[in-house]
Amino acid sequence: MAPVVGTTSNPRESGVTGESDAGDGVFGLSKAQDRSGVTGFNQGGGRGLTAVGTPAGHFDGDVEVTGHFKNPTPNAPAVFGESDSGDGVLGLSRAPGRSGVTGFNQGGGRGLTAVGSPAGHFDGDVEVTGDIRLTNQDCAEDFDIVTVKGTEPGTVMVLNETGALEPSSNAYDKKVAGVISGAGDFRPGIILGKQETDSPRMPIALLGKVYCKVDARYSSIEVGDLLTTSPTVGHAMKADDSVRAFGAVIGKALKSLVAGQGLIPILIALQ
């Protein structure tokens, strides 16, 4: 059988066109190694091969690309992978010192974006040559909690004899561990110690800014005042006694509270 060769000078026509109501429009088969079943190239700078349909392109074997994937659609990704049961996009590299997936942005945006729950999962090491920017407030760590009752975000927590945490209930308690993170409009920037245990666990703010329950009935609180545990369950108060406060300071008030109880932002500074 002679090879099929099609040529045309009409800019709106293809060199070869195949049409079928039941099968493939064009079917190409090659039994030679490293050859393609269908080859398309364009000497005018356009596309070498165009696939139209739903799905637009279907490949039963491997796909080798010597150029780049470029998407002319504005705000659309160059490569998009979707799967109902596997990975959306999987990148594998067997070369030492190379990445399975590399993302960079020349327009000042993000080089790599991960969306999901969890948004990003890494089985190996993570090496960052730039800055790590966390948009939320505090550094927290998960601790075992004696009971979740009355231990909502903002509660001041202390250690018990077993090392688990419970709401504070004594003034100037040196067993103070921190404040439950997540109250108000502050969220933890990083949470350490995420693991499964038989006990309920909650993130305790150990560093940074966090909203904290305070009781100003013992003494009015001003910005900059050191805070300690109070007799009110789960609440902090102004540390008026510097001697008793040693080792029992939770942090420093970032907002005033003249009277009553409330929720104010504080700077965690355990000392």
The CATH number of the structural domain formed by 139-268 is 2.40.300.10
Residue 228's pLDDT is what?
Answer: 97
The chain-wide mean pLDDT, for the chain, equals: 88
* pLDDT for 1 beyond 70: no
- Whether 265 and 179 have beta carbons less than 8 Å apart is answered as no
Q: What is the pLDDT of residue 126?
A: 81
Domain-wise residue ranges, the chain: 139-268
10 Å CB burial of residue 48 (0-12, 13-18, 19+) is: exposed
Q: Where are the beta strands (DSSP E) in the chain?
A: 139-144, 156-159, 165-167, 176-180, 190-192, 201-215, 226-229, 236-238, 249-253, 261-268
Q: What pLDDT is attached to residue 264? A: 97
Q: Using the predicted structure, report yes or no on whether residue 94 has a pLDDT greater than 80.
A: yes
Does residue 101 carry a pLDDT above 90?
no
In degrees rounded to 5, what are phi and psi of residue 243?
-70, -50
**Dihedral (CA of 201, 207, 212, 216) sign:** positive
What is the per-residue pLDDT across 206-259, written as a single tens digit (0 to 9) for each? Answer: 899 999 999 999 999 999 999 999 999 999 999 999 999 999 999 999 999 999
Higher pLDDT, 35 or 213: 213
Whole-structure pTM value: 0.66
Closest CA to 222 of 252, 242, 261, 184: 252
